[in-house]
Structure 1
Amino acid sequence: MKITKESVESQAIRYLRSHILEGHIKLGAKLVESALAKELELSRSTVRMALNSLVNDGLVIQKPYSGWQVVEINEQDLWELYHMRLALEGEAAAMAAKWASSDDKRRLADFFQEYQLLCLQHGDDTRRISEMDWQLHLLIVEICGSARMLNQYKQILYPLQAYIALTHQDYDLSDSASSHQALVQAICSGNAVMAAEQARDNITPMFRSAAVQTN
């Protein structure tokens, strides 16, 4: 049995990140170190380190003289994030098709199979389906072989995830997995051109239309 010991700081990061991404902490909300430390029963220094990590994730900003705040996303931000995501995901998918190991491609295929099963058996569980959708895209970037690209992608992924969680709560995701099938197949078969094309085309219509309208 594999036993992992997660640090208190890591637990705080995971807790705060999930609460922002799931919409429990709203975009633009002020975050007070002392209040969070009391709520989580942690030291202020631990909370401060967790908030600094969320700054690197693109989810939190630190304002001089006024403390911490969850990021806000305006129309210009959304337009920029959309186009950055479009470029990074297309390139990452092509790189994954060319350079990912057979083990990584098998891991992607296995994860996609779980994703399909979830949509088939629990098509109304939008929270879990949305989470697996984002995890699939993140996994593709992880296996592309570029740590720099992965770090940049997370700064795009997390703010978008928080935005969509707040603005598209009633979106039908029951057919979400099938829309990714061609993308996964292209990566696993090593077709870099098709993988890049499918990755760009796979940006969900609801987000594409929201972003393009701001241009």
Structure 2
Amino acid sequence: MDESAETFINREDAQGPLADAVFQQVLDAIYQGRLAPGSVINEVALAQEFGVSRGPVREAVRRLQGIQLVTREPYQKARVVSLSAESALELFQMRMALEGVACSLATQRMSDEEVAQLLAELEQDRQRQLRKERGESSGPRVFDFHERIVRASGNNRIIHALCEDLYHLLRVYRRHSGTVLERKEDAYAEHWQILRAIKSRDAELAESLMRSHIERAARHLFTHLADRDESDAARRRGGRAAGTGT
């Protein structure tokens, strides 16, 4: 049992700090793909893994349903939300509109010091990723370029739409849009170009670059999910054909 699990032993409350800790553990498992999209959530197994009763796990699952990361049909077990091409396209279209405006506002509102800090953090995140690719210790990722831009916009409605409950679902889709190494390389270059436009105080260019960046990610993800759905459908058809002996 790892240290994080040990901290849960003998703490049985389904509310409060314990419930928050279990929620974060399950959320991290979804982010990292250890609980894959569409997979059944085994509350008993998770409770054993974390060293708690089922109460805190059940509460975590309920909260995850509230932020659309978990679904539960009547009389069915809870599952991690399945990623569909159509849902991805809708979410990324919304991101194009809102993050484009957020980027324009951030260009006008960020101080020179804030821009310089964001540039430094982008490079630090790049170095962390390179260490990870070399198999070296890189530490957990704490930098989210898109969240930083949205919050820098100062527009509370945009921040609420993209950085609160919906943020978690968006983050899962974004993770899948950047799973291919080539897309990671492109994304870093595009982030750098967006920041260069912000540093130059070119709000129109920054907005255009952000929209284009998200559009490319959307095309990449849509193609990936559509191909996956087609492959899954072909396997199901093959299984039915084998079952009927045709």
Per the normalisation by structure 2, the TM-score is 0.66
- Is 1:161 the equivalent of 2:174? yes
Aligned to 1:183: 194
In structure 2, runs of 5+ residues without a counterpart are: 1-15, 227-246
Aligned to 2:91: 81
Which of 9, 19, 23 in structure 2 is aligned with 1:13? 23
Which of 198, 214, 218 in structure 2 is aligned with 1:203? 214
Residue correspondence of structure 1 range 6-155 to structure 2 within 5 A: 7-100=17-110, 104-118=114-128, 121-122=130-131, 124=133, 135-145=144-154, 146=156, 147-149=159-161, 150-151=163-164, 154-155=167-168
Shift, 1:139, TM fit: 1.8
Distance 1:73 1:134 in 2: 24
Shift, 1:172, TM fit: 5.7
Distance 2:104 2:223 in 1: 24
Tell me if the contact between 1:82 and 1:208 (Cα under 8 Å) persists in the aligned partners.
no
Distance 2:167 2:47 in 1: 26
Tell me if the contact between 1:112 and 1:136 (Cα under 8 Å) persists in the aligned partners.
yes
Residue 143 of structure 1 aligns to which amino acid in structure 2?
A
In structure 1, runs of 5+ residues without a counterpart are: 1-5
Shift, 1:112, TM fit: 1.4
Residue 54 of structure 2 aligns to which amino acid in structure 1?
R
Cα separation, partners in 2 of 1:62 and 1:94, compared to 1, 3 Å? farther
> Larger deviation: 99-108 or 138-147?
99-108
Cα separation, partners in 2 of 1:7 and 1:122, compared to 1, 3 Å? same
Tell me if the contact between 1:56 and 1:155 (Cα under 8 Å) persists in the aligned partners.
no
Cα separation, partners in 2 of 1:170 and 1:38, compared to 1, 3 Å? same
SS in structure 2 at match of 1:183 = helix
Shift, 1:176, TM fit: 4.0
Aligned residues: 204
Tell me if the contact between 2:119 and 2:195 (Cα under 8 Å) persists in the aligned partners.
yes
Root-mean-square deviation (CA, aligned residues, Å) is 3.5
Distance 1:132 1:187 in 2: 24
Distance 2:177 2:45 in 1: 27
> Larger deviation: 178-187 or 201-210?
201-210
Post-superposition CA distance 1:66-117 (Å, at most 9, x none) = 2421001222112212212222221221222223455543442221121343
Shift, 1:35, TM fit: 2.9
Post-superposition CA distance 1:130-160 (Å, at most 9, x none) = x869811222223222241322650542230
Per the normalisation by structure 1, the TM-score is 0.74
Distance 2:166 2:103 in 1: 12
Pair member with larger Rg: 2
Post-superposition CA distance 1:13-36 (Å, at most 9, x none) = 332222222221111111133332
